Amino acid sequence: MPEALPHTPPAVALALDRLKSELSRAAGNNFAGLIVYGGVARGRYRPGRSDVNVVVLLRDASAAMLAAIAPALRAARRSANVAPLILSAAEVQPAALVFPTKFLDIKDHHIVILGDDPFASLDVPRQHVSWRIVQELRNLTLRLRHHFVAAGDDREAQMSSLARIARPLAIELTALLRLAGKPVPQEDRSATIFQEAAAAFGVDGETLASLAGLRQGERLKADLLALFGGVLKALAALTEQAERLKEAPQ
């Protein structure tokens, strides 16, 4: 197990190994696979800050089967902050039509610990991807407005609300670059994706760079109110780009 998860703390690798064994015992033949995605799969797990994202594949995801594996998943959550996405293998493709950018991101960055790999052959029609990008960009805008107002004069809370949208935004921009036929950076880092998106879509690169820096815990150099304004302006411009692509001929 540790060899399959580069740059992952041994404690996390051991917790996943234990989870694999406990799920096998609890679910038996109903256990179809365990797949790691997110920061661990990218080799960028941050102790104390990152979840350990896993897909738990079951052949039968009924209530009785969930009850059987629940103790193992709760123990994994306590020991290593494991966050499971529980699916039947048959649900992966239909669910990808509803959550295309998330599932395509998993397809790009995942490690199979055990069992089947339904993400290898995953395919999502362009229309589903384009509609979801628009929806997610608008959702990020609404969330950011809400958190800005709710945080009031709490500077730390405001910076945290900005930092939290950086990675979700990078995932959507990766999908938007692909949809527009633009180059997608091989280096899967938010700052690199933001740089490419700024050039491709004509948004403020400095604003996006500051956003990526906040996610990495860097000291904010820009004025906080100006950064909020810049991010909201960038989101509006990117949403407009996504809307145009959504309406473009297939």
Decide: 154 and 175 in contact? Cβ < 8 Å. no
Ramachandran class of 45: left when φ > 0, alpha when ψ lies in -120 to 50, beta otherwise: beta
Confidence class of residue 190 from pLDDT cuts 50, 70 and 90? very high
Q: pLDDT class for 8, splitting at 50, 70, 90?
A: confident
Cβ neighbourhood burial of 174 (10 Å; 0-12, 13-18, 19+): buried
What percentage of the chain reaches a pLDDT higher than 90? 79
Tell me the pLDDT band of 3, cut-offs 50, 70 and 90. Answer: very low
Per-residue model confidence as pLDDT tens digits over 108-145: 999 999 998 999 999 999 999 999 999 999 999 999 99
Mean pLDDT of the chain: 92
Which long-range contacts link 244-249 to residues 24+ away (Cβ below 8 Å)?
245/130, 245/133, 245/176, 245/179, 245/180, 246/127, 246/130, 246/131, 246/133, 246/134
Residue 99 pLDDT exceeds 70: yes
CATH of 2-96+109-115, one of 3.40.50.300, 3.40.50.620, 1.10.3720.10, 3.30.460.10: 3.30.460.10
The pLDDT-based confidence of 250 (bands split at 50, 70, 90) is: low
- C-alpha to C-alpha distance for 159 and 157, rounded to whole angstroms: 5
Domain ranges for the chain, please list them. 2-96+109-115, 126-247
**pLDDT tens-digit readout, 36-88:** 999 899 888 887 778 899 999 999 999 999 999 999 999 999 999 999 999 99
Output the CA–CA distances (angstroms, integers) from residue 137 to 103, 131, 184, 186, 189, in the order listed.
Answer: 16, 10, 18, 23, 19
Give the angle 155-156-160 at the CA atoms, nearest 5°: 120
pTM: 0.83
